[in-house]
Amino acid sequence: MIKPHCVTCTIVNKCWFKDEKDKKPDEFDYSKYPEIPLEKRGLYHPNCHDLKIPISVPMSNKIEIFDLERRMDYLFLDKKVWLNSMGYKEEDKKEVLELLEKLSKVAYCQGNYKNNPPVEEKKKYGFRIRLNLHFPGKREKLGRIYEITSSYIVYPNGKLKNNTPIGGWKK
Amino acid sequence: MKLFDKIKVINDCEYYNKNGVYKGRIGRINSAEIRDNCFEVIFIDERFWDKNFKWTDENMSTVKNDIFLEMPIEDLEVVEESDATDDDILSSIPLHNKEWWCKVEDGYIMNLLGEKKNKIPYDYNS
């Protein structure tokens, strides 16, 4: 019988992460299990066959974002007043979409993110990141920069699935 | 019950409370697919529902981050249906596979092929 790969192994396969703490999946902490022999020590769990492979930093124009456009309607429905206070109106939806796409791609490639609270039971949806974006104001708020966050799930081969277009404030 | 529907939480549990979600809180379904009889639900800062609350440059940074929770179908009640179409759902489902469970209709968990997961309506484990 072939055993399926563990969730972490599956969701991070072929995904790019900045090689820093809180920006990549946690590796197994063997310091708590000194009895596990060296040859059994895999990346994410004992006997794990996965390898950490260096992937060059992706170019922002090669990143593909999906599920963002469809969520824009709900962003303007649920957080309209918030967007209004940054100087944006309903008619600016396309502009906000393009801005979020552009800023998100750059933030991901620069590693300007943290992993979204790593709640163990949510792993199966994928590895989540919360990007920090410097979002410019418009109209009467022109010249202001808002430190917002946008959440995504990292998919293989340079794809990002949007979870929430504007999910909070950089803390 | 499907993607983007506005829902109300109708049951309480420690896991929800620990994450700041209580019975009666309003959220929106955030995942197209149903996994282990659960949808992922997103909860935004409750001040967004308050029509009298005014966001300003001074208080904007106090906004609470969105909360994502995996919640069993039986803990949710639809308060407002979304306009998400089957195509929207399919485009958001992993690998665009029509066999994924993704909707709840008349007590049945359904997929985009019209198949039902449970045998007895509202008994999602049957």
Query: Could you state, in order of their start, the residue ranges of all structural domains in chain B?
Result: 6-111
Q: What digits encode the pLDDT tens for the residues B73-121?
A: 999 999 999 999 999 999 998 888 999 999 999 999 999 999 999 999 9
Do B29 and B40 meet the contact criterion of CB atoms below 8 Å apart? yes
Chain B residues touching chain A at CB-CB below 8 Å: 4, 28, 30-31, 35, 40, 42, 44, 48, 53-57, 60-66, 68, 70, 82, 84, 88, 91-92
What whole-number distance in Å separates Cα of residue A94 and Cα of residue A126?
28
**Is the pLDDT reported for residue B51 higher than 90?**
no
A113 belongs to a structural domain: yes
**Is the pLDDT reported for residue B34 higher than 70?**
yes
Amino acid at the residue A45: H
Choosing among B55, B83, B89, which should be mutated to test the A contact, i.e. which has the most A CBs within 10 A?
B55
A139 belongs to a structural domain: yes
* pLDDT for the residue numbered A10: 81
Sheet holding A159-169, edge to edge: A64-66, A159-169, A145-155, A127-136, A113-115
Do B92 and A169 make contact, defined as CB atoms within 8 angstroms? Answer: no
What separation in angstroms does the CA of A36 have from each of A3, A32, A47, A117, B54? Answer: 21, 10, 10, 28, 57
Rounded to the nearest integer, the mean pLDDT of chain B is 94
Do B61 and A169 make contact, defined as CB atoms within 8 angstroms? Answer: yes
Do B60 and A85 make contact, defined as CB atoms within 8 angstroms? Answer: yes
Share of chain B above pLDDT 70, in %: 100
A138 belongs to a structural domain: yes
What whole-number distance in Å separates Cα of residue B42 and Cα of residue B59?
22
* pLDDT for the residue numbered A14: 87
Do B70 and A70 make contact, defined as CB atoms within 8 angstroms? Answer: no
Do B66 and A124 make contact, defined as CB atoms within 8 angstroms? Answer: no
What whole-number distance in Å separates Cα of residue B81 and Cα of residue B2?
8
Query: Cβ contacts (< 8 Å) between B4 and chain A: which residues?
Result: 74
For the entire predicted model, the pTM comes to 0.90
CA angle, residues A153, A154, A156, in degrees to nearest 5:
140
ipTM of the complex: 0.88
In chain A, which residues have pLDDT < 70? 1-5, 116-123
Instruction: Note down the domain range covering A139.
Output: 60-169
Amino acid at the residue B55: W
What separation in angstroms does the CA of A89 have from each of A137, B39, B53, B86, B95? Answer: 11, 31, 18, 29, 34
What whole-number distance in Å separates Cα of residue A63 and Cα of residue A85?
30
* pLDDT for the residue numbered A4: 61
Tell me how many domains chain A contains.
1
Q: What digits encode the pLDDT tens for the residues A92-119?
A: 999 999 999 999 999 999 999 987 654 4
* pLDDT for the residue numbered A121: 53
Amino acid at the residue B67: I
* pLDDT for the residue numbered A25: 85
What whole-number distance in Å separates Cα of residue B100 and Cα of residue B86?
12
